[in-house]
Amino acid sequence: MSDEPRVHYETREDGQIGVVSMARVRYRNALSPQMMRDIESALAEANADPDVRVIILRGEGPSFSAGHDLGSPDVGDRELANQAKMAEKYNANRALDPDPLLRFRAVPKPTIAMVHGHCIYAAWMLASAMDLVFAADDAQFLATNFQYFSVPWDLGARRAKHLLFENRFITGAEAHELGFVQAVYPPDQLEAETIAYALRVAEMDPFQLQMIKHSINQMQEIQGYTAHIMSSHSDRMVRGANEIPVTGEQTEGSGRRLYLNVERARSRGQ
């Protein structure tokens, strides 16, 4: 197994901006348990640094993230994991998705997901756990009723149904129209514009920013945000227990595991 880091962390702009970069380029920044732990460690480092005012989460290479890791060396024998008892699967999945994502959402400092390329399923969840999402106008987003089911909160109930019933990709521009993305830019301007916004935020009083974030998150908690996330996680585990196959092997012989619903969405185009 490679010893290369899964996540790079650095500070920019005289230490005011913490930048967390997913670095599993070979695997399109697939979100393995190890990757999620490394992201959490980097977020914790940024949060503990008194000079850091804003945190940006990005992906290196051609994509933000292709979603859950379906077959890299990080995840080992998936067939063996699939044979585990439901209690084991439930607890492992909760530890992979809802629990850390709720912690990411609660990081006291402002966080921004900077999305380019693909942002599929678990990557949508990860982006949703940040406070804001900035995207390239041609980014590709794909949502479903995943384990951290934030989509109704991200889009509103009817827009969520309209999108999820159809199972299709949306561009960064459409994600902006739907309200998931707060700003869109041409790919070659995305990073500069995100940094520029982060610097404007960094001029604010850090405690005021913390209280703004806490108050808005608390509004959602009163409406039932976490209770809904955990209830939907249980629903998703029931969905995963059915007998309809969700993954398959690529027929060309590369051995890369395909997520069948992703391929169906890809075939629909825009």
Query: Residue 214: which CATH number?
Result: 3.90.226.10
In a domain, 220, yes or no: yes
Return the number of other C-beta atoms located less than 10 Å from residue 156's C-beta. Answer: 13
Distance, in Å, from the CA atom of 24 to the CA atom of 3, rounded to the nearest integer, reads 11
- Out of 37-46, 142-151, 237-246, 252-261, least confident range: 252-261
In a domain, 1, yes or no: no
pLDDT tens digits for 218-262?
999 999 999 999 999 988 888 777 655 555 555 444 455 666 777
Pick the closest to residue 35 from 73, 14, 6 (CA basis).
6
In a domain, 260, yes or no: yes
pLDDT computed for residue 245 by the predictor = 57
pLDDT computed for residue 257 by the predictor = 61
- The number of distinct structural domains making up the chain is 1
Considering the chain, what is the average pLDDT of its residues? 91
What residues does 58 pair with on adjacent strands?
21, 114
Q: Which domain holds residue 175?
A: 7-268
Across residues 3-14, what is the average pLDDT?
94
In this prediction the pTM is 0.90
68: which DSSP letter?
B
pLDDT computed for residue 36 by the predictor = 97
Across residues 39-53, what is the average pLDDT?
98
CA 199 to chain centre: 23
Distance, in Å, from the CA atom of 66 to the CA atom of 94, rounded to the nearest integer, reads 20
Distance, in Å, from the CA atom of 141 to the CA atom of 119, rounded to the nearest integer, reads 5
pLDDT computed for residue 266 by the predictor = 80
270, pLDDT greater than 60: no
Pick the closest to residue 171 from 187, 160, 156 (CA basis).
187
In a domain, 2, yes or no: no
Distance, in Å, from the CA atom of 255 to the CA atom of 250, rounded to the nearest integer, reads 6
pLDDT computed for residue 78 by the predictor = 60
Please, which pLDDT band fits residue 1 given cuts at 50, 70 and 90? very low
Across residues 170-195, what is the average pLDDT?
98
Distance, in Å, from the CA atom of 72 to the CA atom of 179, rounded to the nearest integer, reads 33
